[in-house]
Amino acid sequence: MSKDDSPSIPSPATAAERPIRVTAAAALVALQGLALAAFGLVMIALLLAGDKPDSVTQAVTGAVTMLVVALLPLGTARGLWRLSRWSRGPAIFLQLLALPVGWQMAGSEGAWFPAGLALAAVAIAVLVCLFHPSAHAVLRVEPGADRDD
């Protein structure tokens, strides 16, 4: 195998190569992941502070689940930041899941209402960014092309 035949490993994208819309999408998806992680950490802090839930097992399971689920948008945001082609699909999927969650939260009272509006607004913003032609070009999205990677 010659040096030219070796598989190339993509290098992280520079700010000059990354369109502002992809940068914004990566930042917003990372923000979603950080919010999920913060929610999980708050659940653990409340448990450790002595806030007695109905079931300690359910509280710990919920907190750990939130921390694990936070890895999905964080990994996707990293992929978008590095201009990895695979990251666009999961990012869109996560936003399509976030829209009905935001809608349900916005239908609630108290602090859930603005949180739901924010979640829905972020999801729409990410979708707009990822469907923009500049995102298509840099993430090498070609209409009708089959992709293996």
DSSP secondary structure code for residue 147 in this structure: -
Of 141 and 25, the structure prediction assigns the larger pLDDT to: 25
Tokens in use for 118? Answer: 């924010």
**Among the listed residues 26, 67, 24, the one whose alpha carbon sits nearest the alpha carbon of residue 47:** 67
- Domain positions in the chain: 19-138
Least confident segment among 16-20, 28-32, 81-85: 16-20
User: Where does the pLDDT of residue 49 fall: very low under 50, low under 70, confident under 90, or very high at 90 and above?
Assistant: confident
Mean pLDDT of the residues in the chain: 86
Side-chain half-sphere exposure of 123, counting CA atoms within 13 A:
19
Q: Do 88 and 135 touch, CB atoms closer than 8 A? A: yes
**Among the listed residues 111, 114, 60, 71, the one whose alpha carbon sits nearest the alpha carbon of residue 94:** 71
Q: Do 135 and 21 touch, CB atoms closer than 8 A? A: yes
What pLDDT shows up at residue 136?
A: 86
User: Where does the pLDDT of residue 64 fall: very low under 50, low under 70, confident under 90, or very high at 90 and above?
Assistant: very high
**Among the listed residues 33, 30, 105, the one whose alpha carbon sits nearest the alpha carbon of residue 67:** 33
Q: Do 81 and 26 touch, CB atoms closer than 8 A? A: yes
Scan for tokens 């992709």, then name that residue. 147
Q: What is d(CA 109, CA 132) in angstroms, rounded to the nearest whole number? A: 34
pLDDT of 13 above 70: no
Q: What is d(CA 92, CA 115) in angstroms, rounded to the nearest whole number? A: 20
pLDDT of 61 above 50: yes
Tokens in use for 126? Answer: 């990410």
**Among the listed residues 128, 127, 130, 37, the one whose alpha carbon sits nearest the alpha carbon of residue 84:** 130
Question: What's the pLDDT tens digit per position in 73-88?
Answer: 999 999 999 999 999 9
What pLDDT shows up at residue 57?
A: 87
Which pTM value belongs to this model? 0.81
What pLDDT shows up at residue 15?
A: 57
Q: What percent of the chain has pLDDT over 70?
A: 84
What pLDDT shows up at residue 47?
A: 87
